[in-house]
Structure 1
Amino acid sequence: MHYDLTDLRLFVAIAEARNLTRGAERVHLAASSASHRMRLLEASIGTPLLVREPRGVSLTRAGDALLRHARQVFAQLEQMHADLTPYAKGVRGHVSLWANTHATHAFLPDSLAAFLKRHPQVSISLEEHTSPEVVMAVARGEVEVGVVAESIEGAEVELLPYRADRLVLIAPADHPIAQRTRTPFAAVLDYPFVMLHSGSAIHTFTMNAAAALGRHLEVRIQVRSFEAVCRMVSAGVGLGLVPRSALADGPPREPLAVIELEEPWAQRDLKVCVRKREQLSRFAADLVACLTGSGADLP
């Protein structure tokens, strides 16, 4: 069955306006022409799509289904256009990169800026996911390059050193635990926390760490960056869990206590994750060389 994009665009306009004449106006067609096209479309499909009413139209069940699919078609066309546009502007390569929250916020901005400066013909799409999600996506071949803080046993991937860092607990200077230098994670779970937004990799990781101890983490507020976590903790909102590198740019406006966590998982050595390095595309291989410092492209 053949579907004409003009007819689909007209149908979506009519369905959204709930009126044939106004829908036709949106796509710059006469009402008579629009009505004729809709009848031909219905005849082609073999079922009514619109219920003609005195003051407009409503959709049949088939019309509802077509509207849903037509919207998806146009969304995919827009995405196709967005993906192809860089090539028209001279971009000749693209790399998909998935990384956990830690890498995305702390290290990758500088690393990717250095890489893109040296490779202006390459574009990169960066998505934030938990480390296990990144590893599995790379193992399945869905993504060429990932940056993770942990692997999955049995996953057929290669891990290459990227950066070393450690998660630390931060607290207001006058908090009861501020005088400690070290603490187990279980000892602070009675206090409220400031966290990155729900859905971020570090949010998921921290909630799972609490659940593994049979506890539930009380999240008082969620924010969008490690800097905001530090500001909220400084203001006395709660405790925070951040990479030590997030504190490297200087102290916040108010003093913070930094407490080491005794858990082995607090050590977050980041690694570049690939399926097989020798099978990488040229641009992905260049990116890996830049991230790992194994070639001329040092970050």
Structure 2
Amino acid sequence: MRLDFFDLQLFLNIVDTGSLTKGAERSSTSLQAASERIKKIEQQFAVPLFTRHASGVKLTIAGQTFAEQAQLLIQQSRQLQQVMAPFAEGLNSQMTLWCNSSAQSEYLPLLLPQYLVENPNIQIDLKEAETNDIIQALEKGTAQLGLISNFFNSDHLQTLEFSDDPLVLICPMNHELKDKSALQLVDVLHYPFVGLMQYHSLQQSIETQAKLLGCTIQYRLRLPNFAAIAQVVANGVGIAIMPKRAASRLKIVYSFHHIELTGDWANRKLLLAAKNFDQLPVSYQHFSQFLLSKKSKLLI
């Protein structure tokens, strides 16, 4: 015999009414059927659950234990029905993922289509921001999940490694830097740059590093995305800094040299960050598990 929730509710109805007859009526079943079900439960556990007397039934000690557990199971069943009902009704769940420029343009477009196809009721809002701002939002609770650079202090958050995300310098084919295999940021700040628009988090990060070195970047042109920058650099306008993944992708289309940048700031990693992963809503936990399970697809 397999115990089901009808049996549990029948048992509790009998306990509540103190009568096998009234418990059967409340469960909309016959007295004989109710008696047989209770007898089978007692046989299954090899203990009597009730003592019978003229005015009704009374729980044994084993019956009291069974009643406590049955009540818990019934409550859990109702909770399960409540949390699952919205999904059956086609609930749309919306999540916001905070991320830097590189994550938004080079990594997430590769992964998000699969997740969204597999979860048609999910909506994801990508909010681009500089890593420092993402960290502050996570710490304050205004953000729940973010992709950040490991270059910044995130000691008050829980982080999990997501992907390597090094930065490289790109320059025209005939540029005087073309034969360099590796450079530091300070070595190139006196050259004219092509950069992202001011609102892009990566460009803000580059400018912050330049200021720490006592320099101001000279821009010949600002553009909205890496593809536009690669095209302009290939045409000889200036040099630029972008994620290695973007440079590798765009080098197939445009002719330019890319040069490794040294230093912790440039050889960064992307981290998936939250204040506490275990306390995230279920939808965010599921999304986090998906992102981390696809790390192997992100190798440069």
Does the TM-score normalized on the shorter chain lie above 0.5? yes
Alignment identity in percent? 25
Q: Please tell me whether residue 274 in structure 1 is matched to residue 274 in structure 2.
A: yes
Which segments of structure 1 move beyond 4 Å, counting only runs of 4 or more? none
Q: Residues of 2 paired with 1:233 and 1:116: CA distance?
A: 35
Show the counterpart of 1:76: none
Aligned pair in 2 of structure 1 residues 268, 234: CA closer, same or farther (>3 Å)? same
* Matches for 1:247-258 after TM superposition, within 5 Å: 247-249=247-249, 251-258=251-258
What is the TM-score of this pair, normalised by structure 1?
A: 0.66
> What amino acid sits opposite 2:225 in the alignment?
S
1:253 offset after TM fit, Å?
4.5
1:150 offset after TM fit, Å?
2.8
Q: Residues of 2 paired with 1:289 and 1:227: CA distance?
A: 30
Show the counterpart of 1:139: 139
* Matches for 1:64-75 after TM superposition, within 5 Å: none
Show the counterpart of 1:187: 187
Q: Residues of 2 paired with 1:266 and 1:152: CA distance?
A: 12
1:225 offset after TM fit, Å?
1.0
Whether the 8 Å contact between 1:139 and 1:155 is mirrored in structure 2 is no
Aligned pair in 2 of structure 1 residues 154, 207: CA closer, same or farther (>3 Å)? closer
Show the counterpart of 1:150: 150
> What amino acid sits opposite 1:222 in the alignment?
R
* Matches for 1:1-299 after TM superposition, within 5 Å: 90-150=90-150, 152-153=152-153, 155-249=155-249, 251-293=251-293
> What amino acid sits opposite 1:136 in the alignment?
Q
Q: Residues of 1 paired with 2:294 and 2:103: CA distance?
A: 19
> What amino acid sits opposite 1:174 in the alignment?
N
Q: Residues of 1 paired with 2:230 and 2:119: CA distance?
A: 34
Q: Cα RMSD between the aligned structures?
A: 2.2
Query: Unpaired runs of 5+ in structure 1?
Result: 1-86
1:248 offset after TM fit, Å?
3.0
Could you report, residue by residue, the CA deviation over 1:125-159 in whole angstroms, capped at 9, with x for unpaired residues?
11100011111111111111100113654652111
1:282 offset after TM fit, Å?
1.0
Aligned pair in 2 of structure 1 residues 174, 152: CA closer, same or farther (>3 Å)? closer
Q: Residues of 2 paired with 1:91 and 1:153: CA distance?
A: 37
Aligned pair in 2 of structure 1 residues 120, 263: CA closer, same or farther (>3 Å)? same
1:263 offset after TM fit, Å?
1.9
Could you report, residue by residue, the CA deviation over 1:203-228 in whole angstroms, capped at 9, with x for unpaired residues?
10000111000010001111111111
Could you report, residue by residue, the CA deviation over 1:230-261 in whole angstroms, capped at 9, with x for unpaired residues?
11110111101011100233525442111111
Q: Residues of 2 paired with 1:259 and 1:154: CA distance?
A: 29
Could you report, residue by residue, the CA deviation over 1:170-196 in whole angstroms, capped at 9, with x for unpaired residues?
000100111111112111111111111
**Which is further off, 274-283 or 249-258?**
249-258
Aligned pair in 2 of structure 1 residues 195, 288: CA closer, same or farther (>3 Å)? same
> What amino acid sits opposite 2:95 in the alignment?
V
Whether the 8 Å contact between 2:100 and 2:147 is mirrored in structure 1 is yes
> What amino acid sits opposite 1:165 in the alignment?
D
Aligned pair in 2 of structure 1 residues 188, 151: CA closer, same or farther (>3 Å)? closer
Could you report, residue by residue, the CA deviation over 1:39-83 in whole angstroms, capped at 9, with x for unpaired residues?
xxxxxxxxxxxxxxxxxxxxxxxxxxxxxxxxxxxxxxxxxxxxx
Whether the 8 Å contact between 2:145 and 2:273 is mirrored in structure 1 is yes
What is the TM-score of this pair, normalised by structure 2?
A: 0.66
Q: Please say which structure displays the higher CA radius of gyration.
A: 2
> What amino acid sits opposite 2:218 in the alignment?
E
**Which is further off, 109-118 or 151-160?**
151-160
Whether the 8 Å contact between 1:135 and 1:155 is mirrored in structure 2 is no
Query: How many residues in Structure 1 have an aligned counterpart in Structure 2?
Result: 210
1:116 offset after TM fit, Å?
1.0
Query: Unpaired runs of 5+ in structure 2?
Result: 1-86
Aligned pair in 2 of structure 1 residues 153, 257: CA closer, same or farther (>3 Å)? closer
